[in-house]
């Protein structure tokens, strides 16, 4: 084993430990904010795995899309909801935990069987490295142009919706009585936050 293979092996072991530890933290921690941050660590570890596989474009897309967009959107969703609710013990909660463990073990066995049964030989016909980036770009703007544009439109709609929700105030916890209900046109709209007037510069 030469130096390059040793560095790859150590990097793989470190990234694997980070990914498994962060993934366990995501599902075991009770604080959902910590779970969201650990999910970002899982995505970063996966990006490191892609770099070890000489897939630089997929690693960069992993960081930009999942860490920079999806994980940040999850954090915004958590902080916007901001719902404080006391923990209530659930009867027979061990049944749900046992079912979850059984499903996870089944998925792990299925994935392990697929990994062991799949031939992972690299084809000479598939470009790797910089050539793969060129091939992916050609497919994005030829064969997969319509799904690519539809995904961008959906992301734009989600961003506009997040901005609209973030500019609203919370609805009151107590419902108004029937005599105090506002007109129907006002019931369907959320109150806007008060805006401060900006003094005109002289």
Q: What is the pLDDT of residues 54-95, one digit of tens each?
A: 888 888 888 888 888 778 877 777 777 665 656 667 777 788
Is residue 155 one of the residues assigned to a domain?
A: yes
Mark which of 82, 110, 142 sits at the end of a domain: 82
Is residue 46 one of the residues assigned to a domain?
A: yes
Is residue 138 one of the residues assigned to a domain?
A: yes
Is residue 99 one of the residues assigned to a domain?
A: no
Contact 187, 181 (CB under 8 A): yes
Is residue 19 one of the residues assigned to a domain?
A: yes
Q: Domain tally for the chain? A: 2
Domain limits at 65? Answer: 1-82
Q: What is the pLDDT of residues 118-170, one digit of tens each?
A: 887 766 666 666 777 788 888 888 888 888 889 888 878 877 877 777 665 54
Contact residues for 118 (Cβ-Cβ < 8 A; gap 6+):
none
What pTM did the predictor assign?
A: 0.59
CATH number of domain containing 6: 1.20.120.1200
Q: Rounded CA gap, 194 and 112, in Å?
A: 56
Mark which of 82, 114, 139 sits at the end of a domain: 82
Is residue 112 one of the residues assigned to a domain?
A: no
Is residue 123 one of the residues assigned to a domain?
A: no
Locate 70 and state its tokens. Answer: 């999806």
Is residue 72 one of the residues assigned to a domain?
A: yes
């Amino acid at each position: 084993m030469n130096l390059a293979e040793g560095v790859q092996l150590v990097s793989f072991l470190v990234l694997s430990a980070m990914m498994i530890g962060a993934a366990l933290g995501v599902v075991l921690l009770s604080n959902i904010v910590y779970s969201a941050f650990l999910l970002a660590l899982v995505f970063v570890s996966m990006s490191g795995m892609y770099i070890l596989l000489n897939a630089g474009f997929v690693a960069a897309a992993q960081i930009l899309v999942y860490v920079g967009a999806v994980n940040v959107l999850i954090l915004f969703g958590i902080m916007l909801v901001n719902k404080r609710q006391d923990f209530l013990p659930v009867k027979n909660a061990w049944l749900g935990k046992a079912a979850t463990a059984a499903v996870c073990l089944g998925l792990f066995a299925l994935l392990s069987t697929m990994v062991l049964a799949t031939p992972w030989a690299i084809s000479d016909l598939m470009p790797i490295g910089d050539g793969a980036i060129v091939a992916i770009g050609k497919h994005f703007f030829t064969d997969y142009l319509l799904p690519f544009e539809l995904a961008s439109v959906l992301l734009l709609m989600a961003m506009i919706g997040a901005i609209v929700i973030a500019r609203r105030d919370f609805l009151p916890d107590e419902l108004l009585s029937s005599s105090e209900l506002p007109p129907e046109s006002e019931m369907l709209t959320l109150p806007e936050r008060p805006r401060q007037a900006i003094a005109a510069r002289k």
